């Protein structure tokens, strides 16, 4: 099983997701709370250690990106093999559709459960 990076601005969601993933046997590479931190890690040599990113759909973004879809496109342009899974408590079907069309491999609606995470990681 590969390493997972969690990019989520809500601390309690990050901790919940981390605990579920650890219970399933996954390694957590890092937990970050904004796009700049994500890109700093992603642009480093460490990117080869990351297999999956759980990305909060409404992660705080710098002026470089207008939506998380733009961030997904940037991440995939750096490493097209990465698996990006979008997470959100707000069901914005249009934005979720755009994220998936841009290359996200899945979507989980909060609240998070072991079953939802197992299903999206299959």
- At 52, which CATH number? 3.40.50.2300
| pLDDT one-digit tens code per residue, 17-48 | 999 999 999 999 999 999 999 988 888 866 67
Q: What number is the average pLDDT over the span 43-59?
A: 85
Q: What number is the average pLDDT over the span 49-77?
A: 92
Q: Report how many domains make up the chain.
A: 1
* Residue-number span of the structural domain to which 10 is assigned: 3-121
| pLDDT one-digit tens code per residue, 87-107 | 988 777 888 889 998 999 999
Amino acid 10: pLDDT: 93
Residue carrying the six token digits 């899974």: 85
Residue 72 scores a pLDDT above 80: yes
Separation between Cα atoms, residue 81 and residue 50, nearest integer Å:
10
pTM for the model stands at 0.92
Separation between Cα atoms, residue 42 and residue 24, nearest integer Å:
24
Using N-to-C axis directions, what is the helix angle for 68-78 and 35-42, rounded to 10°?
10
Amino acid 1: pLDDT: 59
Residue 2 scores a pLDDT above 80: no
């Amino acid at each position: 099983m590969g390493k997972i990076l969690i990019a989520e601005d809500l601390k309690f969601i990050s901790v919940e997701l981390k605990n579920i993933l650890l219970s399933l046997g996954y390694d957590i590479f890092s937990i970050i709370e904004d796009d700049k931190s994500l890109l700093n890690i992603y642009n480093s040599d460490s990117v080869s250690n990351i297999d999956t990113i759980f990305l909060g759909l409404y992660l705080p973004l710098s002026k470089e990106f207008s939506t998380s879809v733009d961030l997904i496109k940037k991440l995939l342009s750096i490493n097209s093999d990465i698996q990006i899974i979008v997470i959100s408590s707000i069901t914005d079907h249009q934005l979720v559709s755009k994220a998936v069309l841009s290359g996200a491999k899945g979507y989980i609606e909060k609240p998070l459960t072991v079953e939802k995470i197992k299903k999206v990681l299959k």
